[in-house]
Chain A
Amino acid sequence: MTEIKEHPPEIPAEDTSWEAEIQRVGFIRRILMARRWYGADWWFVSISAVMVVAFIVVALFPGLFAPYSPDALVGPRFLAPGQHPEIPVLIVPKDSSINTLKDMAAPEGQPRPSIAVVQGVPTAGALNEQAQSIDNQTKNEPEGLRLRPRIERFTSLEETLQAVIDGTVQAAVVQSTEFDRVSAQFPTLRAGASITGETATAGGFILGTNDIGQDVLSRLLWGTRVAIIIGFSASIVALVLGVPLGLLAGFIGGSFDRLLSLVMDSLYAFPGLILAIAITAVLGPSILNVIVAISVLYIPTYYRIVRGQTLSVKEEIYVEAAQSIGARSLEILRLYIFPNVIPSVAIIFSVNVADAILTGAGLSFLGLGLPPTIADWGIDLARGQRFIQTAWWMITFPGLAIMLIVLAFSMMGEGLTEIFNPKLRER
């Protein structure tokens, strides 16, 4: 085979297009160089990518970040963010052997212990509750100890504490924060254990507690897991079903296409949330059913986009060229059409996840879909609705979380669209 010698091969004009430049450097440098090429879009995508990664990490390892379990009743109810919980502690003389309330239990017949409380403060109620429950516990034990303290009320904190020093009472029960405040004045006294067994976290509960005493922050972080699972699963299922159908409908055409499009368009025309409600109502509450319901909602989205892309790619000359070299239909679909259609799908996936999360939250807000035992933002929103005036933090933080995650995924999807679709990009 003779070479064409007389004419040197065409010297490729130095390809100064940025696409070519980018190919020449490594991946990391590519990302950093990209900042110069894409400008604002790069920031858009980077910031949202960081947010998305953060959400996913939290969703994968909520236990690492959440101080408490989402179901545990860890604090007093309706605690505002940052507010220290009021924990009543037992105040005793420094040399006393008593530490907890239970220590004060005595056998039957012994004189009843007396405990001082400050007048007007609800610690008396807590004291009574605790004493009673301990009493019920101890009297059934072999030693048969009883705890029925006599409660002495004093007008001020100082008087209450003084009574302990004077010996008028065996112990006092006051708020630990109050005691901390005046402990310098009473060097002979010390604080024992909390009478309710609660412990204070440093700084209290960062985002407060809800109506039954659960930590809002922990529920928020654990709720991320549910949101991400629903968002990704529903989108993936919709993609796995919608994309092949769209490909086939676009490629085959004819009555198959018309029939399928009819079904899909009908589904698409249906208001999303209502359809999801109907499906979950029929299937019953469970996370799987929520995923199914939401994915049905989004199958038409992927179908339509893929079908449209397939129809236009089908008309491209390189597809005709593939036919001219004798490729079979399936081969053409696999090698020539599918790879050129899929980028558009990848981009809408991100926005789709955001949408799915929103729909999922909407469903649980309405009380459908998820069983109430699972920590979920939507459920929290619904619960917090009643207390919006008194405990605004119950609804605000889940709401903010939903907003942020939807923003993150949407921003990333939009940013990627701008980068990969240069026709839409402003010059």
Chain B
Amino acid sequence: MAEPKSMEVTTAVTGTAAETGDLVRVENLRKHFPVQTGFLASILNRGHIPAVKAVDGVSFTIRRGEVFGLAGESGSGKSTVGRLVLRLLEPTDGRVIFDGIDLSSLEPEEMRRLRSRMQVVFQDPLASLNPRMTVGQTIEHPAKIHMTDLSAAERRGRVMGILSAVGMNPPESFYDLYPHQISGGQRQRIVLARALITRPELIVADEPIAMADVSVRALLLDLMMKLKEEFDLTYLFITHDLATAKYVCDRIAVMYLGKMCEIGPLKEVYELPAHPYTRALLEAVPVPDPRHRRNEAMPAGEIPNAINPPSGCRFHPRCPIARENCSVDEPLLRELRPEHYVACHYAEELLK
């Protein structure tokens, strides 16, 4: 029976909050988006509505103070997980536990207040900023909502402080500007400033540097790491760029088509990937060195759609080491080596 086994595994992977000092614990998270079908079609299907299974049973923990990388290609569900952790989306199933608090148990007002402790940085800085609000107003807004004991002058002072902290100096010169009046890299700094003003504990960064120029990316990453030290932050770092993830993450998790493939310490996963998909992903990353060109073949086929994912292990149609049972039994996350979890029946083979 799959069910009890998965519960065991979950507890093993995640542990209890008291034991491990986790900031975030995700248990069996599922998010299915129903596909729009016509009235007639839904009758014909007898009430069964097809759904995009964006996240389909994902469990992991994020420890305080770490940079937890969540990697995957399009359709992996990583961005959806990010939004579920922040409860910007309601899960179809499963729980998100933040600092011991089950998010689904909260009243809307309580959830709203909790938001001061967890913030988000999205991919597109221009789209993340209200074009009709100045830089100052944008950053000040969370403070207005959550830090009600501050006077207007004190709030303004905090905003100036944060602007300074993200490298926008002198802060006064930026306060009254609008997003379209500053450059792309600066905008992402403003987004960071807005995220930081309420002194959150967790920041979910969804592809935070993907849209920045190559020369600006390093600056932004550097800034984020410095801020992590200064503000004592924990990051959920969502990215498709494994090369960049290597520079910042402490642990990394790899997702494929709504499922978790592998979780482990960064160095170990990069040097000894246990899941065939992780292996392929790492091989595929272009290396800026012509002496080390890729000579391994890539998995056949493409990412299937998430409405009707392959049975058993989702990666089996493309997997170079797939066996017969891979299309029948879904592999669950298991601890292959200390702290290194993988969802593959034959991971040991890969490590030889």
- Physical contact A–B (CB less than 8 Å): yes
Question: Which A residues have a C-beta under 8 Å from some C-beta of B?
Answer: 1-4, 7, 9-10, 12-13, 15, 19-20, 23, 316-318, 320-328, 331, 335-336, 339-340
Q: Which residue of A lies closest to B179 (CB)?
A: A318
Query: Which residues in A have their C-beta under 8 angstroms from that of B265?
Result: none
Complex Cα spacing A19 to B223, Å:
29
The interface bits of chain B over 212-239 (1 if a CB of A lies within 8 angstroms of the residue's CB, else 0) are: 0000100100110010001000000000
Q: Out of A2, A9, A331, which one reaches B169, CB within 8 Å?
A: A9
Docked-complex contact A320 and B88, CB < 8 angstroms = yes
Which among B88, B132, B164 has the highest number of chain A CB atoms within 10 Å? B132
Q: A19-B181, A324-B88 are in contact. Are A340 and B119 (CB under 8 A)?
A: no
Complex Cα spacing A322 to B142, Å:
9
Complex Cα spacing A335 to B223, Å:
29
Other A-B pairs beyond A13-B183, A320-B122, 10, CB < 8 Å: A1-B161, A3-B165, A317-B127, A321-B194, A323-B88, A324-B115, A325-B145, A326-B146, A340-B131, A340-B132
Which B residues from 111 to 145 make CB contacts under 8 A with A?
112-113, 115-116, 119-120, 122, 124, 127-133, 141-142, 145
B86 close to chain A: CB less than 8 A: yes
B57 close to chain A: CB less than 8 A: no
Complex Cα spacing A320 to B130, Å:
10
Docked-complex contact B115 and A321, CB < 8 angstroms = no
Q: A23-B181, A321-B122 are in contact. Are A7 and B115 (CB under 8 A)?
A: no
Q: A323-B88, A335-B130 are in contact. Are A7 and B219 (CB under 8 A)?
A: yes
Docked-complex contact A335 and B133, CB < 8 angstroms = yes
A20 shortest CB reach to chain B, Å: 6
B246 close to chain A: CB less than 8 A: no
Q: A325-B141, A327-B145 are in contact. Are A10 and B128 (CB under 8 A)?
A: no
Query: Which residues in A have their C-beta under 8 angstroms from that of B124?
Result: 317
Q: Which residue of B lies closest to A20 (CB)?
A: B181
Which B residues from 60 to 110 make CB contacts under 8 A with A?
86, 88
Complex Cα spacing A19 to B180, Å:
9
Q: A4-B226, A336-B130, A340-B131 are in contact. Are A324 and B86 (CB under 8 A)?
A: yes
Q: A12-B182, A15-B183, A318-B130 are in contact. Are A325 and B119 (CB under 8 A)?
A: yes
Complex Cα spacing A30 to B230, Å:
44
Docked-complex contact A327 and B182, CB < 8 angstroms = no
Question: Which B residues have a C-beta under 8 Å from some C-beta of A?
Answer: 86, 88, 112-113, 115-116, 119-120, 122, 124, 127-133, 141-142, 145-146, 161, 164-165, 167-169, 180-183, 185-186, 191, 194, 198, 216, 219, 222-223, 226, 230
Query: Which residues in A have their C-beta under 8 angstroms from that of B116?
Result: 326
Q: Which residue of B lies closest to A340 (CB)?
A: B132
Complex Cα spacing A317 to B187, Å:
14
Give the top 8 A-B pairs by smallest Cβ distance, nearest first.
A326-B115, A339-B132, A317-B127, A325-B142, A326-B112, A318-B130, A324-B120, A9-B167
Complex Cα spacing A343 to B83, Å:
31
Docked-complex contact A4 and B127, CB < 8 angstroms = no
B56 shortest CB reach to chain A, Å: 23
Query: Which residues in B have their C-beta under 8 angstroms from that of A19?
Result: 180-181
Docked-complex contact A7 and B167, CB < 8 angstroms = yes
Query: Which residues in B have their C-beta under 8 angstroms from that of A318?
Result: 127-131
Q: A7-B219, A10-B186, A326-B113 are in contact. Are A1 and B230 (CB under 8 A)?
A: yes
Docked-complex contact B119 and A10, CB < 8 angstroms = no
Complex Cα spacing A320 to B87, Å:
11
Query: Which residues in B have their C-beta under 8 angstroms from that of A325?
Result: 115, 119, 141-142, 145, 194, 198
Query: Which residues in B have their C-beta under 8 angstroms from that of A321?
Result: 120, 122, 128-129, 191, 194
Q: A3-B164, A340-B130 are in contact. Are A324 and B181 (CB under 8 A)?
A: no
Q: Which residue of A lies closest to B133 (CB)?
A: A335
Q: A323-B88, A325-B194, A340-B131 are in contact. Are A7 and B145 (CB under 8 A)?
A: no
Query: Which residues in A have their C-beta under 8 angstroms from that of B167?
Result: 4, 7, 9-10
B201 shortest CB reach to chain A, Å: 14
B151 shortest CB reach to chain A, Å: 20
A230 shortest CB reach to chain B, Å: 33
* Subset of 29 A-B contacts with CB under 8 Å: A3-B165, A9-B168, A10-B183, A10-B185, A10-B186, A12-B182, A15-B181, A20-B181, A23-B181, A317-B122, A317-B127, A320-B88, A321-B120, A323-B88, A324-B86, A324-B88, A324-B119, A325-B115, A325-B141, A325-B194, A326-B115, A326-B142, A326-B145, A327-B141, A331-B145, A335-B133, A336-B130, A336-B133, A339-B132
Docked-complex contact B186 and A12, CB < 8 angstroms = yes
Complex Cα spacing A13 to B183, Å:
7
Query: Which residues in B have their C-beta under 8 angstroms from that of A23?
Result: 181
Which among A10, A23, A336 has the highest number of chain B CB atoms within 10 Å? A10
A378 shortest CB reach to chain B, Å: 41
A338 shortest CB reach to chain B, Å: 9
Query: Which residues in B have their C-beta under 8 angstroms from that of A340?
Result: 130-132
Complex Cα spacing A332 to B196, Å:
20
Q: Which residue of A lies closest to B169 (CB)?
A: A9
Query: Which residues in A have their C-beta under 8 angstroms from that of B88?
Result: 320, 323-324
Q: Which residue of A lies closest to B180 (CB)?
A: A19
Q: Out of B127, B142, B161, B181, which one reaches A316, CB within 8 Å?
A: B127
Query: Which residues in B have their C-beta under 8 angstroms from that of A10?
Result: 167, 183, 185-186, 216, 219
A54 shortest CB reach to chain B, Å: 33
A12 shortest CB reach to chain B, Å: 5
Complex Cα spacing A339 to B161, Å:
28
Q: Out of B113, B183, B219, B223, which one reaches A12, CB within 8 Å?
A: B183
Complex Cα spacing A10 to B183, Å:
9
Q: A4-B226, A7-B167 are in contact. Are A328 and B112 (CB under 8 A)?
A: yes
B97 shortest CB reach to chain A, Å: 19
Complex Cα spacing A317 to B168, Å:
23
B179 shortest CB reach to chain A, Å: 9
Complex Cα spacing A301 to B128, Å:
30
Query: Which residues in B have their C-beta under 8 angstroms from that of A7?
Result: 167, 219, 222
Complex Cα spacing A331 to B144, Å:
11
Query: Which residues in B have their C-beta under 8 angstroms from that of A331?
Result: 145
Complex Cα spacing A322 to B140, Å:
12
